[in-house]
Amino acid sequence: MEINVRGDVGNDTRSGIDNGTTATGAVKTLTRVAELASGKCQSLNVLINSGNVIVDADVSFTVPEIFVHVKAGATLTVKKRTIIDSNNIVVGEGNYRIIFACNNANIRVNGTVIVEGGTGSTGARNQFDYLWRQGAFTITTPAFMKAGLRFQSLNFFIENATVTVGDNAYFANYGGAGLNTNEGAPSRLATYSRSTVNSTFTLGTAATESTLVGDRTQIRTFTPTSSTDARVSEGELVADSNFLYQKRSGVIKKIAWATF
């Protein structure tokens, strides 16, 4: 499915069809895109063609593969929010969130992306609500998947563009519960990458680019029975509590673990 968005002349009564030069069928918001596509397709292209597309409410996409393109001349703005807990106490400022419940989310920026900054945490009352509402671009495990069973990725390609992340804001995050650690079983295989070409990527004071730490290598736990054990593939690494093993040219060699 492909849906076109125009922040200037789009209209959310439409279905997102656009001939590329006029706003005949473009929608106005990502909320409308989610209504049209979330849970209804295997792959989704979101083309932000013109104007300023404003995210001022949380929006979630349940699509296995998603591609978002902010084109030259277009802007995507993720607004800040004042966070109030259940006792009507202000606990800080965060951001509205674009949540990708998917295998891979790919965002190409040739225009402008703005994540508005705020004052951060006040330190008042229970900070669960504050932590929940962080991470402008978030990838999380879909409910129909078991967490950690496959690789997930959140990828940005920024070319001839400007990305600004305001003070105290979080740009990329993993997990539907924001920065809270009690989501249950967050995927340890989720990765974040950013390629920047002829562009400006600016982090404000105390802003965080990503809470995803990058690639995690998980080695299969296995103890070979001999140096030619056929259950270890050529080039494969396996390990047990005593040794790290690798097969090279048909022969398995090992290195002992050591404390430091």
Number of folded domains that form the chain: 2
The HSE-up count of residue 56 (CA atoms within 13 Å, CB side) is 5
Residue 205 burial (10 A CB sphere; 0-12, 13-18, 19+): exposed
What's the rounded mean pLDDT across residues 100-110? Answer: 94
Residue 215 forms part of a structural domain: no
Phi, psi angles (nearest 5°) of residue 130: -65, -50
Phi, psi angles (nearest 5°) of residue 152: -125, 155
Beta strands in 102-248 (DSSP E): 104-109, 112-115, 137-140, 152-159, 162-165, 170-174, 190-197, 200-203, 208-210, 220-221, 237-239, 243-248
Q: Which residue has the tokens 């030069």?
A: 21
Same domain? For 120 and 245 the reply is no
Same domain? For 20 and 141 the reply is yes
Q: What is the pLDDT of residue 8?
A: 93
Asked if pLDDT for residue 145 goes beyond 60, the answer is no
Q: Alpha helices of the chain — where are they, by DSSP H?
A: 30-37, 128-132
Residue 119 forms part of a structural domain: yes
What's the rounded mean pLDDT across residues 103-114? Answer: 96
Q: Write down the mean pLDDT value for the chain.
A: 88
Same domain? For 146 and 247 the reply is no
Residue 115 forms part of a structural domain: yes
As a whole number of angstroms, the distance between CA 7 and CA 108 comes to 17
| Top-ranked range on mean pLDDT: pick from 49-58, 174-183, 185-194, 209-218 | 49-58
Same domain? For 128 and 238 the reply is no
Coil, helix or strand at residue 59: strand
Same domain? For 102 and 229 the reply is no
Asked if pLDDT for residue 250 goes beyond 70, the answer is yes
Same domain? For 7 and 126 the reply is yes
As a whole number of angstroms, the distance between CA 22 and CA 14 comes to 13
Same domain? For 177 and 251 the reply is no
Residue 65 CA, distance from chain mean position: 12
Asked if pLDDT for residue 124 goes beyond 80, the answer is yes
Residue 25 forms part of a structural domain: yes
Q: What is the pLDDT of residue 140?
A: 86
Residue 59 forms part of a structural domain: yes
Same domain? For 167 and 234 the reply is no
Phi, psi angles (nearest 5°) of residue 128: -55, -45
Q: What is the pLDDT of residue 120?
A: 93
- Domain of 161 in residue numbering reads as 2-210
Binned at pLDDT 50, 70 and 90, residue 125 comes out as confident
Residue 27 forms part of a structural domain: yes
Q: Facing residues of 190 across strands?
A: 152
How many degrees, rounded to 5, is the angle at CA 209 between CA 206 and CA 213?
Answer: 120
Asked if pLDDT for residue 215 goes beyond 70, the answer is no
Same domain? For 154 and 226 the reply is no
Q: What is the pLDDT of residue 174?
A: 85
Same domain? For 234 and 204 the reply is no
**Residue closest to 208 by CA, chosen among 241, 166, 240:** 166
Same domain? For 243 and 164 the reply is no
Asked if pLDDT for residue 170 goes beyond 90, the answer is yes
- Contact (CB, 8 A) for 227 and 255: no
Asked if pLDDT for residue 184 goes beyond 50, the answer is no
Residue 78 forms part of a structural domain: yes
**Residue closest to 3 by CA, chosen among 34, 45, 31, 53:** 45
As a whole number of angstroms, the distance between CA 154 and CA 138 comes to 8
Same domain? For 69 and 156 the reply is yes
**Bigger pLDDT: 21 vs 29:** 29
Q: Facing residues of 54 across strands?
A: 77
Binned at pLDDT 50, 70 and 90, residue 248 comes out as very high
Binned at pLDDT 50, 70 and 90, residue 47 comes out as very high
Tokens of 98: 């674009």
What's the rounded mean pLDDT across residues 80-99? Answer: 93
